[in-house]
Amino acid sequence: MRNFTCVQDIGPLDKAVAEALEVKANRYAYKHLGENRTMLMLFFNSSLRTRLSTQKAAMNLGMNVIVLDVNQGAWKLETERGVIMDGDKPEHLLEAIPVMGCYADVIGVRSFARFESKADDYQERILQQFIEHSGRPVVSMEAATRHPLQSFADLITIEEHKTKARPKVVMTWAPHPKALPQAVPNSFAEWMNAADYEFVITHPEGYELDPAFVGNARVEYNQDRALEGADFVYAKNWSAYAGPNYGKVLSTDRSWTVDARKMSLTDNAFFMHCLPVRRNMIVTDDVIESPRSLVIPEAANREISAQVVLKRILESL
């Protein structure tokens, strides 16, 4: 594998999941792969799970790890070419990226959608610059439009818990006080479509996702109807994608919060969320704390998805 930014990069999903389960059972069996190899983890945005799980995965593989928080202890970075740099940003990404490539064998990048320009976000301008200019394999640790390490961990978790070959998975929008990117729902949809589950997306009018990610999913505006017979309920907030509302909060309607009544409509579904989650906005305390909640196993599988990705990259160096 050269880069890991989307579901296509991982190849056949059955093989990837099998490798994940093998790594999970023997996570220190590949320490030789990372010897004298350095993982640089670069954060333009905050992180808890991604930071810890990716670092852990790299260390499991014997890599050296350097963590860098841009804007904390490093220089602010200019991202536009051609500007006269007389403002508050003393360094340009066009220098910073190849420089970082000098000191790393693999680069992980977290760079969220900025909601300044839909085109910039959906062209993945920051991530693409790393791919073009770093000279190194690049791993998305959540970019503007996708969060593939999360989706891969979600897939592993569903495969571990499903009791049908083709479970019904429902991704439901839920309210949140601030505008969040579409990266997680886009990415989850991309992976669920690739896994060929029965996949339903439900959200209020106006929250339609990019059709390129929705793919073959059934979109249902009635949350109750969507949840009927679900095996897995994947809750997530996102801001509007379509038209001039891009990046806006159109609703904070708490009737969409996933609670016990909603879960009772399902086929005793598991509850999933990528975390961090706002309790009693996205999901009630009792649902997230119930025995059917998979939020912690999902998070634990972040170490595994990251380790499979890094292992494959190291094997191809």
Binding residues for a second copy, rule: CB under 8 A, are: 28, 36, 38, 40, 43, 46-49, 51-53, 55-56, 59-60, 64, 66, 68-69, 72-75, 78, 81-87, 90-92, 94-96, 98-100, 102-104, 177, 252, 275-281, 285, 288-289, 295-296, 299-300, 302-303
Q: Smallest gap, in angstroms, from Cβ of residue 48 to a second copy?
A: 5
- In the chain, the N- to C-terminal Cα span, in Å, equals 9
Q: Smallest gap, in angstroms, from Cβ of residue 225 to a second copy?
A: 26
Q: Smallest gap, in angstroms, from Cβ of residue 147 to a second copy?
A: 15
- State which residue, 82 or 244, has the beta carbon closest to a second copy: 82
For residues 87 and 90, what is the distance between their CA atoms, to the nearest angstrom? Answer: 8
Strand partners, 219: 201
Q: Smallest gap, in angstroms, from Cβ of residue 95 to a second copy?
A: 5
With contact defined as beta carbons under 8 Å apart, do 172 and 271 qualify? no
Find the helix or strand (DSSP H, E) in which 151 lies: helix 148-161
- State which residue, 12 or 73, has the beta carbon closest to a second copy: 73
- State which residue, 75 or 221, has the beta carbon closest to a second copy: 75
Q: Smallest gap, in angstroms, from Cβ of residue 65 to a second copy?
A: 9
Q: Smallest gap, in angstroms, from Cβ of residue 243 to a second copy?
A: 26
In 3D space, the residue among 312, 316, 306 whose CA is nearest the CA of residue 153 turns out to be 306
- State which residue, 7 or 138, has the beta carbon closest to a second copy: 138
In 3D space, the residue among 317, 311, 302 whose CA is nearest the CA of residue 58 turns out to be 311
Phi, psi of 28, deg, nearest 5 = -105, 10
- State which residue, 7 or 63, has the beta carbon closest to a second copy: 63
Q: What stretches of 165-215 show up as alpha helix (H) in DSSP?
A: 183-195, 211-214
Say what the alpha-carbon torsion angle 242, 247, 248, 251 is, to the nearest 10 degrees.
Answer: 80
Q: Smallest gap, in angstroms, from Cβ of residue 18 to a second copy?
A: 22
With contact defined as beta carbons under 8 Å apart, do 13 and 154 qualify? no
- State which residue, 196 or 285, has the beta carbon closest to a second copy: 285
- State which residue, 226 or 299, has the beta carbon closest to a second copy: 299
| HSE toward the beta carbon, residue 207, CA cutoff 13 A | 31
Q: Residue 86: is it exposed, middle or buried by C-beta count within 10 angstroms (0-12/13-18/19+)?
A: exposed
